[in-house]
Chains A and B, each alone.
Chain A
Amino acid sequence: MSAFRRPAFWALLGLIVLGALAPLATGSGSLRESFFLILMFLVLASSLNLILGYAGYVNFGHIVYFGLGSYVAMFCITRFGLHLIPSMLIAAVFAATVAFLLGTAVLRLRGAYFAIATIGVNEAVRVLVGNLDFLGGSLGIFLNLSVYGAYGGPGGALIMAYALMVILALAVVAASFVVKRSKFGLALQSIRENEDAAQTLGIDSPHLKRLAYALSAFFPALAGPVYFFKNGNITPDAAFSLTTSIEAMVQLMLGGFGTVVGPVIGSVVYEQLRGSLLTSALFRDLHVVIAGAVLLLIVLFATGGITGVLRQRSRLLWGLLE
């Protein structure tokens, strides 16, 4: 695979590993918490990039697979006493299968119709789960503290959750790199530019789109269980939150959609920005307004996001920033 021969691939993965080691080396709990969130959003934004950035399908309801996966895994853990990792895998396979089947139908819609449908799917699932008693209804599922015993107590569970999130972040970045450099990725990008022309050239767009959609559902369904396992409880409103979904989209736009490094840069910058806004007394309340303003400025003046601006500035960066 050509992706593995590119220095940018290894440089990016190496940077993520180095960054992820920092909180462990310093032993700072708060730094680890904020890195955990950055990595989770990195997974969300990067996986969203597969369908939105590569194939050009505006998916507002990406979070539905995060929520679905989390519920499946939490159910496995509480009901069958399964370990977190097999539960995650079951959840991810489940979510990817649902996405594949649903994608067959939903991806026939284009543009605004698809965007509205994804919102509808997410909201339908959210209210449905809130009505299902075996999933705890609107109160959700609580993890008993004794569950963490198998992972070396709550402290060990925290470290394991962090390590898992780092691995997931690496996996999703590697996957977006490989996809981007592959024939599959090229086909997706041609669908983004002009779907009808792509089909005329013999690209099986319905099938490739649903493959991309299933792949993009796979990663959030792995990250969600880790997040809610660490939290100790899950509710429908937290699991299927449109706000989280759109935050991931803002990060993707901020970093630059359709690129591999874009979502990485976007999630780091956005979370740092939010962190500093939340800690300053003046901007604490206004951080949502500022997020909106940032998004508007990007959309109006720098469609390519940070990556786009950097790539235009220098030839060297053009090659480095995939």
Chain B
Amino acid sequence: MNALLNSGADGLMLGLIYGVAAMGLTLIFGVMRVVNLAHGAAIVAGMFWVYLISTAFHIHPYISLGLILVAGLIIGVAIYFIAIHRIIDSPELMTLLSTYSVSLMVIGAGTVFFSTTPRSISVDLGLLSVGPVQILGSRIASAVFSLAVTGLLYALLYRTRLGTYIRAVSNNRSAASLVGINTRLVLAVSFGLGIMMASFAGGLIGTLFPFTVLSGGPYELRSFLIVVLGGLGNPTGALAGGILLGLIEGVATQFLQVSWVPVLEFTLLVVILLVRPEGILARWNR
């Protein structure tokens, strides 16, 4: 029972980080109907960003995490204008391929510069005991950061003019453009925000687990699963889906061999897509 509580708590913390990554993916899909296949690359970029900044300048990983919020947004906006804006109205195949090509370039360049040797960022915040449950301090900190960034995103979406524009464009792009919203800019910023969330989550994961240039794949697939759990295009659903997946992973490892957990996850992904493509957690969509 104690083991179950422990892994459940671990899963919950991890799930919040997964949720942040998935919100990045779902935000982009919700606003512009683009499935961002560079999502995994953005996650890895976040990991390496934190790794490089904190080892090169000897500053605390959590400070370089803060810098991601700015850098991720700028890079995301740049990617939008280079790779997506021209084909935003083309069939889905085109945006799928263009974001995938961005991923190829990022991962390819990363492999050249950093090879595929595992790296890690050490953050030691001790161990916290709550009754029978023991949790690593770094995990609690990551969970708190995840909640903070989620809060910021919500404040942006629901309390600012830009957020209103983003929601308007996501509802109906041509109507938004008719009432004078600069849709080009809104789309770019939304894509930037999506990349930013993914990189931030990547940075957080980097402080918890070792990683390589190729680590993005499994996390990208998890984000897909979460987004499908919560309903494509629905940020709240993504957060809930993240927590749910974290819990499933935490609890399932108690009953299944670790290598069977991904079998469960991917089967779940396909089954949910088939049975309830609008997501099992979605009560409202869009």
Contact = CB atoms under 8 A, between A and B. Distances in A.
A33 interface: no
A111 B263 CA distance: 24
Contacts of A289: 104-105, 108-109, 112
A300 interface: yes
Interface stretch (B63-71, B179-187, B243-251, B267-275): B267-275
Contacts of B29: 112
Contact of B273 (A117, A138, A287, A296): A117
A106 B274 contact: yes
A121 B221 CA distance: 12
A112 B104 contact: no
A131 B277 contact: no
Contacts of A292: 101-105, 108
B157 interface: no
Interface string B76-91: 0000000100110011
Interface in A288-303: 288-289, 291-293, 295-296, 299-300, 303
Nearest to A294: B101
B31 interface: no
Interface stretch (B6-14, B53-61, B92-100, B125-133): B92-100
B284 interface: no
Interface string A35-60: 00000000000000000100010101
* Most chain A CB atoms below 10 A, which of B90, B111, B263: B263
Contacts of B87: 299-300
Interface residues of A, number: 41
A303 B97 CA distance: 11
Contacts of A120: 221, 224-225, 266, 269-270, 273
Contacts of A127: 259, 262-263, 266
A286 B98 contact: no
Contacts of B92: 58, 111-112, 115
B267 to A, nearest CB: 5
B101 A117 contact: no
Contacts of A293: 101, 105
Given A108-B274, A131-B259, A296 B102 contact: yes
Given A124-B267, A285-B112, A295-B100, A300 B262 contact: no
A119 interface: yes
A130 B270 CA distance: 18
Contacts of A246: 100
A116 B228 contact: yes
A288 B93 CA distance: 20
B98 A105 contact: no
Nearest to A284: B112
A245 B2 CA distance: 44
Given A121-B270, A124-B270, A296-B102, A131 B112 contact: no
Given A119-B224, A124-B266, A288-B108, 15 more contacts: A106-B274, A109-B273, A113-B232, A117-B270, A124-B263, A127-B262, A130-B259, A253-B97, A289-B105, A292-B105, A295-B97, A295-B100, A295-B101, A299-B98, A300-B86
In the A-B complex, the 6 residue pairs with the smallest Cβ-Cβ separation, listed nearest first, are A288-B108, A292-B104, A124-B266, A292-B105, A289-B108, A295-B101
Interface of B: 29, 33, 35, 83, 86-87, 90-94, 96-98, 100-105, 107-109, 111-112, 217, 221, 224-225, 228, 232, 257, 259-260, 262-263, 266-267, 269-270, 273-274, 277
Interface of A: 52, 56, 58, 60, 105-106, 108-109, 111-113, 115-117, 119-121, 123-124, 127-128, 130-131, 138, 242, 246, 249, 253, 285-289, 291-293, 295-296, 299-300, 303
